[in-house]
Amino acid sequence: MKLKYSFTSMVTTRMLFAILTGLVISCVHDPFLDPNSLNDGKPSIPGCTPTGQICFEANVLPIFISACARPGCHDATSHEEGYMLDSYANIVKKGIKPGNANESKIYKVLFETGEDQMPPDGALTQAQKDSIKLWINQGAKNTTNCACACNENEFTYALSIKPILDNSCVGCHKPGSLNGNVNLADYTHVKSYVNDGSLLGSIKHTSGFVPMPQGTKLSDCEIAKFEKWIEAGALNN
């Protein structure tokens, strides 16, 4: 009986060890990235230098906030599949491989189709995908304070106003995703919000208007572009 008990105990111990080992292995995943480690040990780095450096704050974050960090998707409440894409720290936490966009899940999913398409209500533009790719390949840095590359005297609709709207607003305000029943996907609708004052009131975060974009604000230079474009007649130029 004593021998049998010892043998049984030994088998049971081995089985428990195997189960525990399996559980540990199954829980192994890529470690979360430390945001400061990507930015020379600092929370952020200037985005104006060197020439050609993509600006996370101006060119990438607005895309994620507008197209991804929405209710039911990847905002702080929903965080579908564990992804919360509303800030730099959360975006680089997982799914990003700095220096290698093609191996970054967050980038690769932008090319999925059908039920796996992201965003689900319409793909990003090629220019938006290119911005995210370039940002990742340049090290996924938290580049900020990039307004020095902005020229407020360039304010045509096609080259200045529409690209800002596409990056920062259209993800939430287009057919199929009309948050607040606002459509900013085409000139005709945009002009109607210029006429009633709501476009400028929202982007300037003026009291009495819904502040847009949600969770962030356009740079002073970008707002100046809108003001000058509107003062010049808000033309479809």
State how far the alpha carbon of 215 is from the alpha carbons of 70, 76, 169, 221, in Å. 11, 11, 12, 18
Specify the higher pLDDT residue, 30 or 34: 34
Question: Which tens digits make up the pLDDT trace of 149-159?
Answer: 678 899 999 99
Q: Please give the pLDDT value at position 203.
A: 94
Q: pLDDT band at residue 217, thresholds of 50, 70 and 90?
A: confident
Specify the higher pLDDT residue, 115 or 33: 115
Q: Where are the domains of the chain?
A: 35-144, 152-231
Q: Please give the pLDDT value at position 25.
A: 41
Q: Please give the pLDDT value at position 136.
A: 95
Q: How far apart are CA 8 and CA 6, in angstroms?
A: 5
Q: How far apart are CA 49 and CA 212, in angstroms?
A: 28
